[in-house]
Amino acid sequence: MTRPTSERVRRPSDTETRLGIPGFRGEVIAAGHAEYDDARAVWNDMVDRRPRLIARCTGAADVAAAVCFARDRDLEIAVAGGGHNVAGTALCDDGIVIDLSALRAVSVDPVERTADVQGGALWGDVDHETQAHGLATTGGIVSHTGVGGVSLGGGIGWLMRKHGLTVDNLVEAEVVTAEGDILRASAEDHPDLFWALRGGGGNFGVVTSFRYALHPVGPTVMAGPVFWAAEDTVDVMRFYREFAADASDELGNVVRLGTIPPWPGVSEELHFRPAIAVASCYAGPVEDGGRAVRALREFGTPLVDLVAPTRYVDHQSGINDTVPHGWNYYWKSTNLTDLSDEVIDVVAEHAYRAVSPRSCVVMFHLGGAVARVPRDATAYSGRDVSHNIVIEGVWLPEQRVSLGALETAWAHEFLAALQPYRAGVYVNFLDSDDTNRVHEAYGDDTYRRLAVIKDTYDPENVFHNNKNIQPSRVGH
Architecture of domain 6-99: 2-Layer Sandwich (3.30)
Given a contact cutoff of 8 angstroms between Cβ atoms, the answer to whether 361 and 258 are in contact is yes
CATH 3.40.462.20, the chain: domain bounds:
220-429
Cα→Cα distances 101→55, 83, 330, Å? 10, 9, 24
pLDDT tens readout for residues 325-364: 999 999 999 999 999 999 999 999 999 999 999 999 999 9
Q: What is the pLDDT of residue 19?
A: 47
- The Cα 472–Cα 447 span in angstroms is 10
pLDDT tens readout for residues 5-38: 333 333 444 434 444 899 999 999 999 999 999 9
Given a contact cutoff of 8 angstroms between Cβ atoms, the answer to whether 438 and 427 are in contact is yes
Please report, as a single letter, which amino acid is at residue 368: G
CATH 3.30.43.10, the chain: domain bounds:
6-99
pLDDT tens readout for residues 416-453: 999 999 999 999 999 999 999 999 999 999 999 999 99
Given a contact cutoff of 8 angstroms between Cβ atoms, the answer to whether 55 and 28 are in contact is yes
Please report, as a single letter, which amino acid is at residue 470: Q
Q: Which CATH class is domain 220-429?
A: alpha beta
Q: What is the pLDDT of residue 474?
A: 56
Cα→Cα distances 316→143, 159, 272, 280, 416, Å? 6, 11, 22, 11, 32
Q: What is the pLDDT of residue 424?
A: 95
User: Left (φ > 0), alpha (ψ -120 to 50) or beta: where does 437 sit?
Assistant: alpha
- The Cα 87–Cα 157 span in angstroms is 20
- The Cα 220–Cα 309 span in angstroms is 6
CA angle 392–398–400, rounded 5-degree value: 50
- The verdict on pTM exceeding 0.85 is yes
Q: What is the pLDDT of residue 472?
A: 85
Segments of the chain scoring below 70 in pLDDT: 1-19, 474-476
Q: Give the list of residues 6+ apart from residue 268 with CB closer than 8 angstroms, or none.
A: 262
Q: What is the pLDDT of residue 11?
A: 43
Please report, as a single letter, which amino acid is at residue 153: G
